[in-house]
């Protein structure tokens, strides 16, 4: 009987290389928000992968980038701390994009920050290209990472090779007991997950100016107060009232989020509510309010208030 292995793994790569989608595929449920926008992930969400022979804790960090604001600097510090603490760093490169300066810069940073951490290559989105292109990219990623690094091709969307990747990562983990009880999927507080899902819904289909400027704070979560005489009292009995504030930096951004006659904010609420109910397993009533906090990304006091 082979020994049980457990440890921490961090997916890295340029924006939109499939890191969050891969996290969700390995965990088996959505715990990381996915978006085609850079810097979508703001927190190190830990997904927990349970298998008979291993437990992998996936640390989904914000992407490493050249920072332009105090928020950017703080996100980078978060990434640096994570790199030095995990057992394996898995570099994600899409099968349908050439390796570029951004990829080389990330590898340089990893080798500087965590020279002793095991490095692994993941060629993502293999469902989008031919076999020849996959083979070509495997060679290119191998050359990028060096001869000692394994490289695994996967399609998180189609579920192809996801279990192979789990096995390869597990083989590189130290022997040891599970860190979390079976069935737990993340150690992230529910409020953080809710805030991230609301952010994801709000970023859906908006212009480039918004992603960095949007922060979401869950103000309070209360059991729904029900009037005994209300004919809908029974159906509302187990509902939760969730109050959330969406912070932007300028009034023009507030207008984008709210939309004409409040239509967009209503849509954001509907989409986020479905996702949150799925994770919590209970019905919620979502109250969303949009506020302007001028240039909060550059203001240490406001950053602290917003949880950064």
Residue 295, pLDDT score: 78
14 known ligand binder: yes
What residues contact 262, with CB distance under 8 A and at least 6 apart? none
Angle of helix 131-145 relative to helix 101-113, nearest 10 degrees?
Answer: 40
128 known ligand binder: no
5 known ligand binder: no
62 known ligand binder: yes
176 known ligand binder: no
| Higher per-residue confidence, 146 vs 233 | 146
63 known ligand binder: yes
126 known ligand binder: yes
124 known ligand binder: yes
3-state secondary structure of 146: coil
pLDDT tens column, 266-305: 999 998 888 888 777 788 889 999 998 887 877 777 777 7
48 known ligand binder: no
DSSP notation for 237-249: TT-EEEEEEEEES
Q: Give, in words, the CATH class of 5-172.
A: alpha beta
- Provide the terminal-to-terminal Cα distance of the chain, rounded to the nearest Å: 45
All structural domains of the chain with their residue ranges: 5-172, 190-306
pLDDT tens column, 257-268: 888 899 989 999
127 known ligand binder: yes
pLDDT tens column, 134-188: 999 999 999 999 988 999 999 988 989 999 999 999 999 999 988 877 766 565 6
Burial 164-176 (b: 16+ CB within 10 A, else e): ebbebbbebbeee
Quick one: average pLDDT of 21-42? 63
Confidence of residue 84 (pLDDT cuts 50, 70, 90): confident
Query: For the whole model, what pTM was predicted?
Result: 0.58
Alpha-carbon span 306 to 190, nearest angstrom:
16
Q: Do domains 5-172 and 190-306 have the same CATH topology?
A: no
Burial of 61 (0-12, 13-18, 19+ CB in 10 A): buried
190-306: what fold?
GMP Synthetase; Chain A, domain 3 (3.30.300)
For residue 35, the Cα-to-chain-centroid distance in whole angstroms is 9
17 known ligand binder: yes
């Amino acid at each position: 009987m082979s020994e049980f292995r457990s440890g921490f793994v961090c997916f890295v790569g340029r924006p939109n290389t499939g890191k969050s989608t891969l996290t969700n595929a390995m965990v088996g449920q959505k715990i990381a928000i996915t978006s085609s926008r850079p810097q979508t992930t703001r927190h190190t969400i830990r997904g927990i992968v349970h298998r008979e022979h291993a437990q992998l804790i996936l640390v989904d960090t914000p992407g490493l980038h050249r920072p332009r604001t105090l928020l950017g600097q703080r996100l980078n510090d978060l990434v640096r701390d994570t790199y030095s603490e995990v057992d394996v760093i898995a570099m994600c490169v899409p099968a349908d994009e050439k390796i570029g300066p951004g990829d080389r810069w990330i590898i340089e940073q990893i080798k500087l920050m965590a020279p002793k951490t095991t490095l692994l290559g993941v060629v993502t989105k293999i469902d989008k290209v031919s076999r020849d292109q996959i083979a070509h990219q495997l060679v290119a990623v191998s050359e990028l990472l060096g001869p000692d690094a394994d490289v695994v091709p996967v399609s998180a969307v189609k579920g192809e090779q996801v279990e192979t990747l789990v096995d390869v990562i597990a083989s590189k983990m130290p022997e040891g007991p599970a860190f979390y009880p079976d069935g737990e999927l993340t150690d992230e507080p529910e409020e953080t997950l809710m805030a991230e899902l609301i952010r994801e819904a709000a970023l859906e289909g908006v212009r480039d100016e918004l992603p960095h400027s949007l922060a979401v704070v869950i103000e309070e979560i209360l059991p729904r107060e029900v009037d005994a005489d209300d004919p809908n009292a029974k159906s509302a009995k187990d509902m939760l009232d969730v109050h959330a504030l969406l912070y932007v930096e300028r009034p023009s951004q507030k207008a984008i989020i709210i939309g004409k006659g409040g239509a967009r904010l209503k849509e954001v609420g509907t989409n986020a509510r479905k996702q949150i109910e799925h994770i919590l397993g209970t019905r919620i009533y979502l109250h969303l309010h949009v506020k302007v906090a001028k240039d909060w990304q550059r203001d240490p006091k406001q950053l602290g208030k917003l949880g950064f």
